[in-house]
Structure 1
Amino acid sequence: MSVDAASAAGTGPVIAQGVDDEPMAPNQRDARARTGVLIAVLCAAYTLFHLFVMVIYPLETWTYRMMHVCGGLIIGFLTYSALTQRSNDADAAPARRGMAELALLGVAALGVGYGLAVIAYAWGAWWLAGVAAPPAFGFRTYGLPLAIGTAAAVIAGWLYSSRDRSRIYPGDLILCMASIAVLGYILFVVGALRMRAGTGMAQPGDLWAAVTGVILILELTRRLTGLALVIIVGVFIGYSFLGPWLPGFLNHRGYTATRFFTYIFTDQGVLGDPIAVSSTYIILFIVFAAFLQASKVGDYFVNFAFACAGQTRGGPAKVAVFASGLMGMINGTSAGNVVSTGSLTIPLMKKVGYPAKTSAAIEATASSGGQILPPIMGAGAFIMAEVTGIPYTDIVIAAIIPALLYFVSVYFMVDLQALKLNMKGLPRSELPRFNDLIKQVYLFLPIIILIYTLFAGYSVIRAGAMGMAAAAMVSWLTPHKMGPRQIFKALDMGAKMSIQMVAVCAAAGIIVGVIALTGVGARFSSLLLSIADQNQYLAMFFAMCISIILGMGMPTTAAYAVAAAVVAPGLIALGVPVLVAHFFVFYYAVMSAITPPVALAAYAGAALSGSDPMKTSVEAFRLGLAAFIVPFMFFGSHELLMQGEWIDIIHATATALLGMFLLSAGVIGYYFGHASMLVRLILIGAALSMIAVGWLTDVVGLSVAAALFVWQRRIVTPATLSHGRAD
């Protein structure tokens, strides 16, 4: 609905329109005409396949996960180019191909074509003649040409891929065929492969299918997330072969290529926990988010936040905290949420007086916090439930207080900075009218139904399906009714939005497989134990640093999956409860998105605000400082994870909230007036005292806070401020 239409309908000015629409990536294609329709149908079919298997007709585990990965690879190569796209001219004649490009494409087509033909022959013989064992020669010889052809297609894409968004490069079609060949081989031998993968009985065909699969996964990951995760995976793969020559706890005996790659393509690696969650919970809730987008509920969320907080001091920043946290919880990616909601909130923050770097940092900090906000937690809760075996509802309940502390801290920082800089909010005339929006509060029903069904004992899958149905039904009470066309669009969007998660989870599975195969996780646990002999908090600090480093440049899902495999077992060996250990590494994996020097969410915000990326990441780190302290808080006081008696939980929460306020005041430099550097340092000390749960430390913190309040109110007056003596 346009602004004029909204005003005519009596809803007041509309600020948010299409804020949750997925922005087009620089290398994303925009296929038109029949090609675009074909891809959309393929995407909708991919989504429906998952819903059908999850809700109606379950498949064998390996089969389902392989089809999940293969479908993601095909859609990914059709929709994302190897190079940045510049134009969208479908009528322009394609450039003439040189001899080198034709040679590469020829090698790719011949190699992949031969491999696919052998697999197709094997399946045809089985279906038509009942021949369960294909000719041995075919399965002995198909693999090497397939791997060479796949590598040639990847290289051709790097060098010669079209810059036209409307065209699909032939090399990418060959990569789609290679994906089908890998799927066909693994499904044909899946029964035997489950027994022999990773052992001396593994066959050459198993090796080449796995090698080709790894190449395809890494190339799609590069296209979707950049080089950071690909380099990290490459380091882990190299570690598997270089182990005999490495010192200390990194040393291991090494592995042959056949044993390593066939082991990687099992449920201990690529088909392990990350893909298990990606193929069920993650894709389910991404499709749920797509239904919310198609019904324009996301716009309502943001407009509702503006109606509530837009007029207050620093209003757009507070809206960013609320709206970005809510949207980040659903869409599961910090940087993606920054780009979508930040395109609205960042310009408005700059309009009311926030510096460019602060505007971007607030958006990045709030969007990253969405990943720790229950009940969805950006899919992190589902992975944690899968890895730990702890019920999903227990994880959601445990996440409530830490998420509250984080967002309250960010809100305090935003509010105190607005006070310090004497900022105003947006004029009420430019904001949606709350009285009108409250009449549409039923648009929150999909979220409410989702939460109710989860805690009423329904399975996560059934709850997600009911949430999707609720989103479609609620849309009929709005101008954006979801008919067949809109439902098809939601299914199409759901598949395209899930592709990044498929690639990321598959790549993370490679890392998890390396850790399981080499045993480096157990040796890391021993290292943590030896550090803990000196000081347990030092061991926890070391675990924090490793979790952040492992997560740098990686999406949240992959960052947590890797940290859970490397760091969490070491913390559990120290005697830390399983829930606390996994929450500890999860928080730092999430916060790697705003931790310099590689802070993806902050960099995305900087691109929108025009600020310096490194300065923005430092500012985001400062604003999100609470997230770096909260894990140590619930490590020392399990009451903050809802563990213990209610009186203790209330006490721990109240003192932690006061500690967050003191910490925010110290960081921003405003405590009932401008605070000097000495006052700021004392405030941070008092905050740390309040954070360490205990009556003695609480009394110390409260006493210092009260003394500083009296001091500030006595010396900071309008007269002294006007002479500049208070700062």
Structure 2
Amino acid sequence: MSDQPELDRSADDMVAETDTGARDPSAAWQARLIIGTCIAWSVFQLYIASRLPGVVAQATGMGIFANIVAQARFVHLAFAIMLATLAFPLFKSSPRDRVPFYDWILMALGVAACLYLVVFRFEIADRPGLWNTTDITMSAIGMTVLMISVYRSLGLPLVVVASCFILFAFFGGYSEWARNITNYGGASLSKALGHYWMQTEGVFGVALGVSTTMIFLFVLFGALLDRAGGGNWFIKVAIALLGALRGGPAKAAVLSSMMTGMISGSSIANTVTTGTFTIPLMKRIGFPAEKAGAVEVASSTNGQLTPPVMGAAAFLMVEYVNIPYIDVVKHAFLPAVISYIALLYIVHLESLKIGLKGLEKPGRRIGVLMIMILFLSGFIFLGICTFLMIGLRAVLDPFMGESVYAAVALLAVLYIALVGVAARYPDIAMDKDDDGPPTAPRLTPTLIGGAYFAIPIFVLIWNLMVRTDSLDRLSPALSALWATVFMIVIALTHRPLKAMFRSQGFGTELARGWRDFVDGLILGARNMIGIGVATGAAGIIVGTISLTGAHQVIGQVIEVISGGNLIILLVLVAVLSLILGMGLPTTANYIVVSSLMAPVIVSVGAQSGLIVPLIAVHMFVFYFGILADDTPPVGLAAYAAAAISRGDPIRTGVQGFAYDIRTALLPFLFIFNTDLLLIDVGFAKAILVFFVSLIAMLLFAAATQGYFIAKSRKWESVALLFIAFMLFRPDFFLDQVSERYATATGPAGLTLMDETADGKDIRLVVEGPDFDTGEMKPTTITVPAIADDALAALEAQGLLVREESGALLLDEPFPGTPHFESLGIGYDFYGDQPVTITTVEVENERWPKELFFIPALILLAGIVLIQRPRATQAAF
């Protein structure tokens, strides 16, 4: 393995180099400067997220304390650039034990360029767009140092992508083809640099704003929870729950990675955190090194999909799609749960194929049925607690008003009680290689021994999702602040409280709690370095799009390659996400691909007659950006897992991606079946969708693994795939036997609209000359019907229609009306060819598509009967 230097490094070293910085200065003052900067950044973020700036400003009469919140994103990037320069060596040959002189110069220049926008904010506001020489000089310095910071912390790919967009901003006007598409004639140095740096259209745009207000707090929350011992507790609970089952350590790896994925924004860090314990256990029960690493990789990369705390890109989705965070969580919930259960099933099938057993476990062994009951009872318990707390809050409201003191007091009592109970049990340590045969710890003492770690997560979920509108559901940023504050309290106090309950040394544990708190502040800031500079660099791409319309050029290229076929377009976008994701972090990958391709997917879908919700498109890009972390040959999570398992990193990545095929399938499914995203789905139907989709995904997993009840023959695997398709897309088969829409053209279309029930969606196929190319193109939109008045239904949507020569001619919709973005910008309403409504479509009353579940289940029963006699071992 000497030709694979990646394996000669420890996984922790890899995390340091890719996530937190590999420099470790020997000079104490330099090390203290890095640590102090990390602590200052974390404290600053907590300060601006709280109400303290306003309180301090009111108490002192100094408005700067309140204004700093408005300038926070400039300070945020200054911290990120400073730490990137200090913590990450510029070159492989650069010293790691000290900060060289050129880094001090770069750090000073970068910080000065950011703080220039704070110090001279009033002068800059007085000359918007009229940038002077100093403005342009500081902008050029800031952009240069930012790109260097991105290179040193994230590598070359994002620098190359951002540089291409900068070059397009300066020289794109020289291309006649690009100029014809975008009407962009090029930008001067002053205009472009001012656009990128001096205003909030470029570097300091939406992405960096979300990083400042939301992402940092969630990353800090996860770092504090991990340093306090919450991450370790998750792993222990998972092993206690699933370790004794067949292939138990691998199943525990899946469950623990799902739980720690809620608090970790990095696939690599997640791989190392849980893999350090689970990969050796998997190998000790018989998993090959590559498969042990692949299970951990597949589990860890999917951790960012897990609600309620998803990866950083999920918070950007809130801004880009313009929906509340709770809606993002709702849409992401079903695919994430199905994906993880399917991965558990894949691990189970691998264990069956290899003939593995589980870990030995003292006490009574928990069966599969009991585990399912525990899961269900956990959800039921959470629901009961939720309703009790809502009722308690309603009772206390007349006395407490908007005060939070009652809630804080209740949480404090609950916390102290749980710590007191946990103190009765010994702290459980993980098995080591020299401890003899590995064993799974008992569930009850393990679960109770750290149950108080669930309180801040409960606070976060409560504030994000449970509080009703009448009780002021909090924003994601404020929810994360409250959860982080409570996590700080736990980090500081849980060890000394345990010592007090155990009548042990209080002072020593108090010092350990303080170290946990400080380490959490440091780790949170260091984990944010890459995200901070990545969101700044991604802002360059978004700024170029707003300045030049570059997305139209790239979008048209990919649209031409796809030939207007939505499936081919989706495959191309998936491949683009995977390729970019090999070198870009998930956040930057999501920003780039969604900015470029989301409008194109929606447009091509509409031209094909499929109306794709914007959230589905963004989730599609999000999924494939995450999958890039285990895509060979550059999947860093696979290299981290291979460093632990001592297996081959390429084979680990290939096997991990094979396990993740089920995750790659889901985005294509929810583009065509939005029920999976719970869009316009009631509770009862959501339950049906969940169970049917879960069965379908498990069958897909069985088909790809070549093993169901027994080893599958090829035709049986094909049959399982066909059954899975029938369950996922029953409407496809219904469309073959029954027309989905009643259609009408011309004036008959208005008659059909008149006859449609009030509020029912009507599809209008609009055709006209493209504004840029002049070629005729179709698109599909929906409008709600108004019974007996078609013209009123159209006018309510800002659509003015007139009959002329047997056709329905459409006038240009006004800005601000619902369909201005899809029609008003895309069509030339004043050309030789008019824009017309060619077809009106109303959905027919048909059989329920769920009827096709019946033949699918009958066929499944046949496969079960055929394979059952060939089974050589028990299923569990």
Q: TM-score range by the shorter chain?
A: 0.7 to 0.9
Name the structure 2 match of 1:305: 238
Name the structure 2 match of 1:44: 39
Name the structure 1 match of 2:750: none
Tell whether 2:17 aligns with 1:25.
yes
Deviation (angstroms), 1:608: 2.9
Seq. identity, %: 31
- Do 1:371 and 1:377's aligned partners in 2 also have CA atoms closer than 8 Å? yes
Structure with bigger strand share is 2
Aligned to 1:426, the other structure's residue is in SS state coil
1:614-655 per-position Cα deviation (integer Å, ceiling 9, x unaligned): 322221121111211112222222222222233332222222
1:567-616 per-position Cα deviation (integer Å, ceiling 9, x unaligned): 11223333422222221221122222223444232233233323333322
**Equivalent residue for 1:219, pick from 124, 148, 162:** 148
The Cα RMSD (Å) is 2.7
- Do 2:598 and 2:617's aligned partners in 1 also have CA atoms closer than 8 Å? yes
Q: Using a 3 Å threshold, how does the CA distance of structure 1 residues 62 and 450 change in structure 2: closer, same or farther?
A: closer
Tell whether 2:196 aligns with 1:264.
yes
Aligned to 1:423, the other structure's residue is in SS state coil
Name the structure 2 match of 1:506: 536
Deviation (angstroms), 1:397: 1.5
Deviation (angstroms), 1:271: 0.5
Tell whether 2:326 aligns with 1:393.
yes
**Equivalent residue for 1:543, pick from 573, 592, 595:** 573
Aligned to 2:95, the other structure's residue is in SS state coil
> For 1:29 and 1:717, how far apart are their aligned partners in 2?
55
Q: With the length of structure 1 as denominator, give the TM-score of the two structures.
A: 0.80
Q: Using a 3 Å threshold, how does the CA distance of structure 1 residues 525 and 193 change in structure 2: closer, same or farther?
A: farther
Name the structure 1 match of 2:630: 594
Aligned to 1:254, the other structure's residue is in SS state coil
Name the structure 1 match of 2:109: 178
Deviation (angstroms), 1:391: 0.5
The aligned amino acid for 1:176 is M
Aligned to 2:709, the other structure's residue is in SS state coil
Q: Using a 3 Å threshold, how does the CA distance of structure 1 residues 244 and 700 change in structure 2: closer, same or farther?
A: farther
> Mapping of 1:160-239 within 5 angstroms?
161-163=94-96, 165=97, 167-191=98-122, 193=124, 201-239=130-168
Deviation (angstroms), 1:218: 1.9
Deviation (angstroms), 1:511: 1.8
> For 1:357 and 1:543, how far apart are their aligned partners in 2?
29
The aligned amino acid for 2:456 is P
> For 2:716 and 2:693, how far apart are their aligned partners in 1?
20
> For 1:195 and 1:521, how far apart are their aligned partners in 2?
32
Which shifted more, 548-557 or 535-544?
535-544
Tell whether 2:698 aligns with 1:657.
no
- Do 1:270 and 1:513's aligned partners in 2 also have CA atoms closer than 8 Å? yes
- Do 1:553 and 1:600's aligned partners in 2 also have CA atoms closer than 8 Å? no
Name the structure 2 match of 1:627: 663
Larger radius of gyration: 2
- Do 1:524 and 1:570's aligned partners in 2 also have CA atoms closer than 8 Å? no
Q: With the length of structure 2 as denominator, give the TM-score of the two structures.
A: 0.67
> For 1:665 and 1:260, how far apart are their aligned partners in 2?
54
**Equivalent residue for 2:712, pick from 633, 657, 675:** 675
**Equivalent residue for 1:458, pick from 474, 485, 506:** 474
> For 1:367 and 1:319, how far apart are their aligned partners in 2?
12
Q: Using a 3 Å threshold, how does the CA distance of structure 1 residues 210 and 438 change in structure 2: closer, same or farther?
A: same
Name the structure 2 match of 1:448: 458
Tell whether 2:721 aligns with 1:711.
no
**Equivalent residue for 1:361, pick from 291, 294, 301:** 294
> For 1:411 and 1:563, how far apart are their aligned partners in 2?
30
> For 2:464 and 2:569, how far apart are their aligned partners in 1?
36
Deviation (angstroms), 1:191: 4.3
Aligned to 1:24, the other structure's residue is in SS state helix
Tell whether 2:469 aligns with 1:433.
no
Tell whether 2:484 aligns with 1:472.
no
- Do 2:247 and 2:347's aligned partners in 1 also have CA atoms closer than 8 Å? yes
Q: Using a 3 Å threshold, how does the CA distance of structure 1 residues 528 and 298 change in structure 2: closer, same or farther?
A: same
Name the structure 2 match of 1:68: 76
- Do 2:237 and 2:446's aligned partners in 1 also have CA atoms closer than 8 Å? yes
> For 1:218 and 1:288, how far apart are their aligned partners in 2?
28
> Mapping of 1:630-641 within 5 angstroms?
630-641=666-677
> Mapping of 1:344-355 within 5 angstroms?
344-355=277-288
- Do 1:637 and 1:652's aligned partners in 2 also have CA atoms closer than 8 Å? no
> For 2:166 and 2:69, how far apart are their aligned partners in 1?
25
Name the structure 1 match of 2:652: 616
- Do 2:304 and 2:310's aligned partners in 1 also have CA atoms closer than 8 Å? yes
Name the structure 2 match of 1:402: 335
- Do 1:357 and 1:611's aligned partners in 2 also have CA atoms closer than 8 Å? yes
1:338-358 per-position Cα deviation (integer Å, ceiling 9, x unaligned): 233222222222222222221
Name the structure 1 match of 2:305: 372
1:315-344 per-position Cα deviation (integer Å, ceiling 9, x unaligned): 121111111122222221112222332222
> For 1:628 and 1:501, how far apart are their aligned partners in 2?
24
> For 1:612 and 1:697, how far apart are their aligned partners in 2?
45
Name the structure 1 match of 2:88: 80
Aligned to 1:377, the other structure's residue is in SS state coil
1:88-134 per-position Cα deviation (integer Å, ceiling 9, x unaligned): xxxxxxxxxxxxxxxxxxxxxxxxxxxxxxxxxxxxxxxxxxxxxxx
- Do 1:62 and 1:267's aligned partners in 2 also have CA atoms closer than 8 Å? no
> For 1:490 and 1:356, how far apart are their aligned partners in 2?
32
> For 1:619 and 1:392, how far apart are their aligned partners in 2?
34
Deviation (angstroms), 1:22: 10
Q: Using a 3 Å threshold, how does the CA distance of structure 1 residues 267 and 697 change in structure 2: closer, same or farther?
A: farther
Deviation (angstroms), 1:375: 0.8
> For 1:290 and 1:20, how far apart are their aligned partners in 2?
15
- Do 2:343 and 2:659's aligned partners in 1 also have CA atoms closer than 8 Å? yes
1:164-216 per-position Cα deviation (integer Å, ceiling 9, x unaligned): x2x2222211122112321243334434546867x5x3333323222221221
**Equivalent residue for 1:241, pick from 139, 152, 170:** 170
> For 1:626 and 1:177, how far apart are their aligned partners in 2?
48
Deviation (angstroms), 1:717: 5.2
Structure with bigger helix share is 1
Deviation (angstroms), 1:670: 1.0
The aligned amino acid for 1:685 is F
Which shifted more, 382-391 or 684-693?
684-693
Deviation (angstroms), 1:248: 5.2
Q: Using a 3 Å threshold, how does the CA distance of structure 1 residues 415 and 653 change in structure 2: closer, same or farther?
A: same
